[in-house]
Amino acid sequence: MRTSLRIFFLGGLTSYRALFHWLTPWILIPTFVVGPIFQLLFFAYVGRAAGVGDDTFYLIGNAVELASIPCLFAMGNTIGNERYTQTLGLLLASPARRLPLFLGRALPVVVNGFAVSFLVLVLGALVLHVSIPVAAWAPLVAVLAVCAFSCTGLGLASAALALRVRETAVLSNIIMGVLIVFCGVNVAVSALPAWMQSVAQVLPLTHGIEAARELVAGASWAAVMPLVRDEALIGVVYGAIGMAMLFFFERESRRHATLELA
């Protein structure tokens, strides 16, 4: 038990610091601060030009969605980069239990995703002069944390593919695009075609964004609780799928000796 906890906390943190590769200020600030703020400003101004939505709508949608940058890319890197550092074989040959080994890598990613979302929410509110009710901040923080968790679940599933394919960054970009279009980030889910609304219901962030918007509009925590619960549940399901994929691809790569060939 103690070993598993060490692998989960220390192993996860060490892997994140060693393999994410984005923790230098030269990457961190442009990617996690400046880029996200400009994404928010872009859509807020497009909304103004198109005459739809208001700044609050775009602030909430983009702040929640931008957690996906670390949640998708960091998860991909912390597993995919094992191959580049030629430690994937060593890692998978070790007797360490897989559950704490891989889930431990997800924990710093959840924290990172939450931090990006929170930062964009605060800076975006200042830049766009959006006023968020004081009472809404505490539940909003909880929603951001749940969204970062659920998106990391999706990131884990996407990262599992790093055991099979090389281009995890391309995959992460495409998944991020899907989230932007489907999850009600800049267009209300109700304005999407029916089939897209159905897809949105099984993606992370959709319920979280809706909950966050309702909170800012004055809803109570109890009122948005079902949405937050669904968001967390979706995260658990994607996380479980990701773990199952990791087990499957690991076993397949051992059987076919394809660990270094992807």
Partner 1 sequence: MSTLRLVAVGWWLQLKMRSRSSFDGLLSIVYPMFFATTIFFMYRENGDEAALVSAAVGASCMGVWSAVSTTASTTLQGERRQGTLELLVGSPTSFSLVIVPATVSMATIGLWSLVATLLWGRVVFGIPISFDQPLVFVVAALVLAFSLGLVGFLQAVSSVRYRSAWALGSLFEFPVWLICGFLVPLSILPDWVRPISWLLPPTWGVAAVRDAALGGNAWPDIALCLLTGAAYAVIGVVLARRLVDSARVNATLALT
Q: Tell whether residue 185 is a contact of partner 1 (CB under 8 A).
A: yes
Q: Tell whether residue 81 is a contact of partner 1 (CB under 8 A).
A: no
Q: Tell whether residue 199 is a contact of partner 1 (CB under 8 A).
A: no
Q: Tell whether residue 17 is a contact of partner 1 (CB under 8 A).
A: no
Q: Tell whether residue 46 is a contact of partner 1 (CB under 8 A).
A: yes
Q: In angstroms, rounded to a whole number, what is the distance separating the alpha carbons of residues 118 and 121? A: 5
CB contact at 8 A, 147 and 109: no
Q: Nearest distance from residue 141's CB to partner 1, in Å?
A: 26
Q: Based on C-alpha coordinates, what's the Rg of the chain? A: 19
Centre a 10 Å sphere on the Cβ of residue 43 and count the other Cβ atoms it contains. Answer: 22
Determine the Cα angle at 128 with ends 124 and 131, to 5°.
85
Q: Nearest distance from residue 57's CB to partner 1, in Å?
A: 11
Query: Of 115 and 141, which has the nearer Cβ to partner 1?
Result: 115
DSSP one-letter code for 261? T
Which helix (DSSP H) or strand (DSSP E) does residue 193 occupy? none
Q: Tell whether residue 50 is a contact of partner 1 (CB under 8 A).
A: yes
**In the set 187, 200, 227, 246, which binds partner 1 (CB under 8 A)?**
187
Q: In angstroms, rounded to a whole number, what is the distance separating the alpha carbons of residues 205 and 148? A: 8
Query: Of 27 and 223, which has the nearer Cβ to partner 1?
Result: 27
**In the set 78, 81, 150, 186, which binds partner 1 (CB under 8 A)?**
186
Q: Give the C-alpha distances (Å, rounded to integers) separating 210 from 44, 93, 195, 220.
A: 18, 44, 18, 13
Q: In angstroms, rounded to a whole number, what is the distance separating the alpha carbons of residues 65 and 14? A: 26
Determine the Cα angle at 23 with ends 19 and 24, to 5°.
120
Amino acid letter at 106? A
Q: Tell whether residue 248 is a contact of partner 1 (CB under 8 A).
A: no
Binding to partner 1 in span 51-80, by CB under 8 A: 51-53
CB contact at 8 A, 238 and 204: yes
Query: Of 170 and 244, which has the nearer Cβ to partner 1?
Result: 170
Number of residues that bind partner 1 (CB under 8 A): 36
Which of 48-56, 93-101, 107-115, 209-217 is the region at the interface with partner 1 (rule: CB under 8 A)?
A: 48-56
Q: Contact positions toward partner 1, by CB under 8 A?
A: 22, 24, 26-27, 30-31, 34-35, 38-39, 41-43, 45-53, 167, 170, 173-174, 176-178, 180-181, 185-187, 191-192
